[in-house]
Structure 1
Amino acid sequence: MFREPRSSHSLAKSISGLSRHGSLPKILIVLHQENSSPGRVGHLLEAAGFRLDIRRPPLGERLPDTLEDHAGAVIFGGPMSANDTHDFINHETDWLAVPLREEKPFLGICLGAQMLANHLGGSVGPHPDGHVEIGWYPLRPTDEGRTLMEWPEMVYHFHREGFELPRGATLLATGDVYPNQAFRYGSHAWGLQFHAELTRAMMHRWVVRGAHRFELSGAQQGRLHLEGRMIHDAALKAWLEALLVRIFGTANCAAAERV
C-alpha cells in the first residue's frame, strides 16, 4: 500500500530558502497542444516556488539551446506519435541531448518518455496484439524502482503505443499490457508511460474528447476512468509529489543563483 510522503519531504520544503539566492529557478515545460496544461505537475512546481517556462513546439515555439538558466525540464504527452515526421517531433527528440549532456533533471511523460526512449535508441510502437492502455491499470515496481521510492498500485493511462527500454536505462516499473512503464537513464532523466498529472477537469476533458477510443482493444469505458479516480487518485497524487521531490527538489540552488 502506498503511503503519502512525510510533510518534511514535501516539494515546497525541499527548495525552501531559495529566494535568498535571488530569483527562484524555472522549469522548462513542453506542451503539444494550444490548450494543453501541465496540470498538477505545474501546480506542485509553482507551489514549491518554481517558475514555469512554457513552450509549445507545435505552435512554432523553439526550445532553448541550453538549460543553463533552468533547473530542469518536463516534456508532456500529446495525441501525436513519437514516430511522426513532424518537424517539431524530430526537433524535440534531438533536443533531448541538451538535458542529457548538461545533466539537468528531466521528466518525460507518455509522449515525452517515448521521445526520450527514441533519442536513446529504443523503438516506439503499438502493442503487437493491438491492445491499448486507456484507463486505470496495475503497476508493479521492479527491485530497482522499489529501492528508490514507494509506488502506487494503480495508474492512469491514455496511450496506444509503448517504448522499448533503451540500452543503459534502468526499468523502474512494469505493467501487464505494456511491460515498460517507468525508467531512469543515468541519475537525471526519467520517463513515465502513465499520467499522474491529470486534474479532475483534465480527466473529464479527456474522457469526453477521447470517447471514440474506448472501443479500442483493452480500453476502459469513461465511467471506469472517473470511478477509478475516486479510488486511486489520492495515492497517485502523493506519489507524484514524492517523485518531483526526487527529480527536481535538490538540484536548484545553483540555477537559482544564475537566473
Structure 2
Amino acid sequence: MKTCAALRHVAFEDLGSFEPYLRRAGFDIAYHEAGYDDLSGFDPLAPDLLVVLGGPIGAYDDAIYPFLRDELRLVEARLASGRPLIGLCLGAQLMARALGASVHPNPAGREIGWSPLSLTDAGMASPLCELAGIDVLHWHGDTFDLPAGAAALASTAITPNQAFLHGGAALGLQFHVEGTARGLERWFIGHAAEIGQAGLSVPDLRAATARHAAALEQQGTRLLGRFLDGVRLLA
C-alpha cells in the first residue's frame, strides 16, 4: 500500500478533499501533529507522499514555536531527496524558507476569501491547469519570495507568488486547494478572531463558499491526480 504522511498544525486544517481521494487511490494516511507529537523519530523520506499542511503561525516564528526548526529540517531533507512533497499555505512557506527564500508578512495585508488565480505559462503546463477559471480559497497574511530554481505557477493581485514547482516533485501552494464546504465550517469557528480582525463576516464567507467550494473540491482533486500521475504514484 502507498503511504501519505501529513504534518498538521491545527486539527481543523487537515487534508480536506485530498483525503478521500488519496484513500480511493490506495494510500494509507497518517497525520503527525507538529508541535505536539515527537517528530524526532519521523523519517521524512519514508512516506511515498509528504504533505505539509497550513496553520495560523508564521514560518519564521521559530523563536516562539521552536518545533518549526525541527519541521524545517524534515522539509529540507524531503526536498533534497526529490521525493514527492506538497506544501499548503504554511506548508508552502516552510518549503520556500527551506529553499532559502524569504517568508514575511504580505505588504498588501491579509488575503482571505475566494478569488481566481492568474496562471503563468508554467502554471498552465502544470497540474494547476485544472484550476483555470475557478475561484480558490485564500487564507493567509504572509507570503514568500520565489525560491531560486523554482518555477512560478500562479499569482493574485495582492500576492505575486501563489504557487511554485521545485525539482519536478515539490509543489508549494499558498492558497488552499484542499478546502471543502463542510470543512470550512470548522475554520469559521477556529479562525473567528482573524475573521473579525480582517473586517470580514462569517455569513459572507459562508455564502461565497456555497458558490465556489463544489468546483474547487472537484478541480482540486483533479489537480492532485495530475500531480500524483506526474510523480508516478498512481497505479
Query: Is 1:179 paired with 2:156?
Result: no
Alpha-carbon distance between aligned partners in 2 of 1:165 and 1:112, rounded to the nearest angstrom: 14
Which position in structure 1 is the counterpart of 2:3? 26
- 3-state DSSP of counterpart to 2:185: helix
Normalised to the residue count of structure 2, the TM-score between the two structures is 0.88
Answer whether contact 1:33 1:58 (CA < 8 A) is retained.
no
CA distance in 1, matches of 2:160, 2:120: 11
Tell me which residue corresponds to 1:10: none
Higher relative contact order (CA 8 A, sep 6+): 1
Q: Using the alignment, how far apart are the partners of 1:126 and 1:185 within structure 2?
A: 22
Alignment check: 8 A CA contact 2:3 2:29 kept: yes
The aligned length equals: 228
- Give the TM-score, by structure 1 length: 0.81
Q: How does 1:86-235 map to 2 (within 5 A)?
A: 86-129=65-108, 131-148=109-126, 149-152=129-132, 153-216=134-197, 220-235=200-215
One-letter amino acid matched to 1:147: A
Distance in 1 of aligned mates of 2:206 and 2:112: 12
Q: Secondary structure at the match of 1:96?
A: helix
Over the aligned positions, Cα root-mean-square deviation in angstroms equals 2.0
Distance in 2 separating the partners of 1:189 and 1:99: 9
SS where residue 159 of structure 2 aligns?
A: coil
CA distance in 1, matches of 2:78, 2:148: 18
Q: Give the counterpart of 2:226 among 240, 246, 250.
A: 246
- Between the aligned residues of both structures, percent identity stands at 33
Structure 1: gaps (5+ residues): 1-23
Q: Distance in 2 between matches of 1:231 and 1:34?
A: 25
1:103-139 deviations in Å (ceiling 9; x for gaps): 111100000000000011111111224x101111231
Distance 1:208 1:53, change over 3 A: closer
Give the Cα–Cα distance (whole angstroms) in 2 for the partners of residues 35 and 175 of structure 1: 25
CA distance in 2, matches of 1:174, 1:66: 29
Amino acid at match of 2:151: T
Name 2:16's counterpart in structure 1: 39
